[in-house]
A and B are shown apart, each in its own frame.
Chain A
């Protein structure tokens, strides 16, 4: 049978494999290749030079953008995880199966609305004479500057990541065996201790994976930092867009892209290890 199945699997295996190799892996590898090429007269020329790497990595502006992006993405991961956890607990433990399904359906709704439109909508909320400040002035408070700041970026990131993170956390929490929680109560652990000593350890993978999703989404997003964060100081994705769109400096943009990919790979591996590592 084994020789049989190996002949049978090629017609099914090859199409998706070739497609993703040709149009996913090769483009990414090609980025690595062109990071050593040069631009002559606005045209890409094959070359073997380190000057793009040197140009980008020796600038303090690059490293400050890197630090800024990292800090924003980490902030987004922490804020999103903390914001969604109470809601996820509530949905996983205190409502009926039916209500939970309905709620999860509402969490899926944002996936079908344009992120761009939602960000544009947030502008209306956060601008200096926007909805939030209008509400604040109704209760007699001074308006706050919110648009074009890191706070604005964070609102965008949370908008992007919160539905997904809540979904992941709720599903992770809902899978916890109720008997374990009852056992904890039975062994005289109160609600708070049960939360920290039983629920949190069991839900760790979903918490970490959710946070990782938020980090990845925020790390690569250019819409929120541009249209809610004001674009200054730039994030790495802003840097890629500026470098690509103005001046055709694709090799330099490729350098930024590779640094981003490496960062994400290392972060993901660390997170996966944190989530599933000490479980044997």
Chain B
């Protein structure tokens, strides 16, 4: 009886925790359609005004284009560099390896204000501060660790005999990397690309320091936030959230297919037909 009570209490508590986490997200969604300029209860009525205002604001449009322009190369570069770093950590033993991994993984733990100041002062000596390049470079530094961690987790699942088997079948190390390691990591590479794109799309502090007049979307939001109350923030937030979730859903679909494959492997006798078809589609 006591136990069951504790259990129910735990569930209720967990529910409240999730409410706390999700409340601001939900509120911003609701207020983005609220006719009242000031976010307060009771709601005044439905409007699309803020979305209309947002997506006709040239500053927002420009920022949006810039964010996309930055996040794609950032995702590409961080995924490639992250893969190199993860593979080195996985495959090779060398002196100072733990220092190497530390250097690779440390950036997200440095407060973004400090990263911003460091990047600003350093890149301005290279005459890069205030350029889009500065945002791109900083974002790769911040996003690379996420890519490395995700790919490293995938590599940890790889039987080390797999590479040896490939060498044994006369594939050189370079061929092995291309024909064995990369295909093995494919899902995590896609996931790392999506996540790093999201990291770049969401980062505001360092970008705010180094971007100068080249605002990205979150920097624009920060500027709005510094100004007066603006429901436009809710509209942008909701739009960005929706597109991020879509990206994540695509990423999940990718790894979901991987899961279906593995599930089929557990029941080798009679895999369901649908799974079989999708598997063949993937593997051929």
- A contact residues vs B (CB 8 Å cutoff): 5-6, 8-9, 12-13, 15-17, 19-21, 23-28, 30-31, 34, 44, 83-84, 86-87, 89-91, 94-95, 103, 106-125, 127, 129-131, 134, 158-159, 162-163, 166, 191, 216, 219-222, 227, 237, 240-241, 244, 250, 253-254, 257, 260-261, 264, 268
- How far is the CB of B21 from the nearest CB of chain A, in Å? 6
Q: Does B158 contact A (CB under 8 A)?
A: no
Contact B141 A20 (CB under 8 A): yes
Contact A264 B109 (CB under 8 A): yes
Bound Cα distance A23, B138 (Å): 7
Residue among A16, A24, A103, A118 making CB contact with B82, cutoff 8 Å: A16
Contact B233 A112 (CB under 8 A): no
Q: Does B178 contact A (CB under 8 A)?
A: no
- How far is the CB of A222 from the nearest CB of chain B, in Å? 6
Which residues of chain B are near A191, meaning CB under 8 Å? Answer: 2-3, 6
Bound Cα distance A44, B129 (Å): 14
Contact A24 B107 (CB under 8 A): yes
Bound Cα distance A152, B155 (Å): 42
Residue among A27, A86, A124 making CB contact with B10, cutoff 8 Å: A86
* B contact residues, range: 35 or more
- B contact residues vs A (CB 8 Å cutoff): 2-3, 6-7, 10-11, 13-14, 17-18, 20-25, 27-28, 31, 39-41, 80-82, 84-85, 87-88, 91-92, 94, 100, 103-104, 106-107, 109-115, 117-123, 125, 137-138, 140-141, 144, 148, 173, 198, 202, 204-205, 209, 218, 221-222, 225, 233-234, 236-237, 240-241, 244-245, 247-248
Residue among A5, A26, A112, A220 making CB contact with B114, cutoff 8 Å: A220
- How far is the CB of B251 from the nearest CB of chain A, in Å? 11
Report whether over half of chain B's contact residues are helix, strand or loop; otherwise say mixed. helix
Which residues of chain B are near A254, meaning CB under 8 Å? Answer: 117, 121
- A125-B24, A237-B113 given; 7 more Cβ-contact pairs under 8 Å: A5-B91, A20-B103, A44-B121, A114-B218, A117-B25, A162-B21, A244-B120
- How far is the CB of A38 from the nearest CB of chain B, in Å? 14
A sample of 27 cross-chain residue pairs with beta-carbon separation below 8 angstroms, ordered by A number, consists of A5-B92, A13-B94, A17-B85, A19-B141, A24-B141, A26-B122, A27-B115, A28-B110, A28-B114, A28-B118, A31-B118, A90-B10, A90-B14, A95-B11, A106-B18, A108-B248, A116-B222, A117-B240, A117-B241, A120-B234, A121-B27, A125-B23, A131-B27, A216-B111, A241-B113, A260-B114, A261-B110
Residue among B25, B110, B138, B248 making CB contact with A121, cutoff 8 Å: B25
Q: Which are the 3 A-B pairs with shortest beta-carbon distances?
A: A220-B111, A117-B237, A90-B10
Which residues of chain B are near A219, meaning CB under 8 Å? Answer: 111
- How far is the CB of A13 from the nearest CB of chain B, in Å? 5
Interface centre among B14, B84, B245 (most CB of A within 10 A): B14
Contact A109 B22 (CB under 8 A): yes
Bound Cα distance A240, B110 (Å): 14
Contact A24 B245 (CB under 8 A): no
- How far is the CB of B35 from the nearest CB of chain A, in Å? 15
Residue among A16, A30, A107, A237 making CB contact with B121, cutoff 8 Å: A30
- How far is the CB of B26 from the nearest CB of chain A, in Å? 9
Q: Given the interface contacts A109-B245, A114-B237, A125-B23, does A257 sit within 8 Å of B28 by beta carbon? A: no
Which residues of chain A are near B40, meaning CB under 8 Å? Answer: 124, 127, 129-131, 134
Contact A113 B237 (CB under 8 A): yes
Closest Cβ neighbor of B252 among chain A residues: A105
Which residues of chain A are near B237, meaning CB under 8 Å? Answer: 113-114, 116-118, 120-121
Contact B209 A244 (CB under 8 A): yes
Contact A237 B111 (CB under 8 A): yes
Contact B138 A103 (CB under 8 A): no
Which residues of chain A are near B118, meaning CB under 8 Å? Answer: 27-28, 30-31, 257
Contact A257 B114 (CB under 8 A): yes
Bound Cα distance A122, B234 (Å): 12
Closest Cβ neighbor of A245 among chain B residues: B209
Bound Cα distance A34, B120 (Å): 12
Which residues of chain B are near A5, meaning CB under 8 Å? Answer: 91-92
Q: Given the interface contacts A12-B87, A31-B117, A114-B202, does A162 sit within 8 Å of B248 by beta carbon? A: no
